[in-house]
Amino acid sequence: MESSLIAAAKGGDASAFETLMGAYERKVYALCLRMMGNPHDGEDCAQEAMLRIWQRLSQYRGDSAFSTWVYRVTASCCTDALRRRRPQSSLEAMQEDGFDARDDAPTPPEAHEARETQRAIAGALADVPADMRSVFLLRDVHGLSVEDTARALGISGGTVKSRLSRAREKLARSLRAQGFGPQNRDGR
């Protein structure tokens, strides 16, 4: 079904593309949101990613899964957007101005703890450099394999692993500093 939609969309059928990408819009938006660190920039970036996917669909040859290619284009859009981002509007500067990347929406009590951890991770991600952040998001949040992450980001599997390890360590340190997890680990 997906392949026929891809073929139709490649032929310029916008409605086929809409049906095809309807299944990915949430993933694209979520990746952009976490990469950019705030909903406004995340939405702008996700819009651009969707349009770029549409415009470059003819370049998709089917060598990898379509989802991997979608992530590749989206991650590329995020990288470009972060590069374009002016210093005064950087995430760090926004945080200095009081911006909090975490979602402060109220949560039901039963899901409170899990949501708090997720929010904390989302907030702590802002401290992780963009190249590591993208690897972490694709591997640990979106669940891509090492190979697919490497393909999506155009880097080697070894680079994925090294960036991932640093991202995980950085995030873990940040989360522990916020009081998540046992403060004094007894090691494994």
User: Given the rule CB under 8 A, which residues bind other proteins?
Assistant: 1, 12-19, 21-22, 25-26, 29-30, 33-34, 39, 43, 46-47, 50-51, 54-55, 103, 114-115, 117-118, 121-122, 136, 139-143, 145-146, 160-162, 164-166, 168-169, 171-172, 175-176, 180-182, 185, 187-188
Strands (E), 16-157: none
Q: How many CA atoms lie within 13 A of 56 on its CB side?
A: 16
How many residues are recorded in the chain?
A: 188
Cβ burial, residue 143 (10 Å; 0-12/13-18/19+): exposed
- Residue among 50, 66, 72, 31 at smallest CA distance from 154: 72
Nearer to other proteins, 17 or 69 (CB): 17
Minimum CB separation of residue 35 from other proteins in Å reads 12
Question: Using the 8-state DSSP alphabet, how is residue 161 labeled?
Answer: H
Minimum CB separation of residue 90 from other proteins in Å reads 22
Nearer to other proteins, 50 or 82 (CB): 50
Nearer to other proteins, 93 or 158 (CB): 158
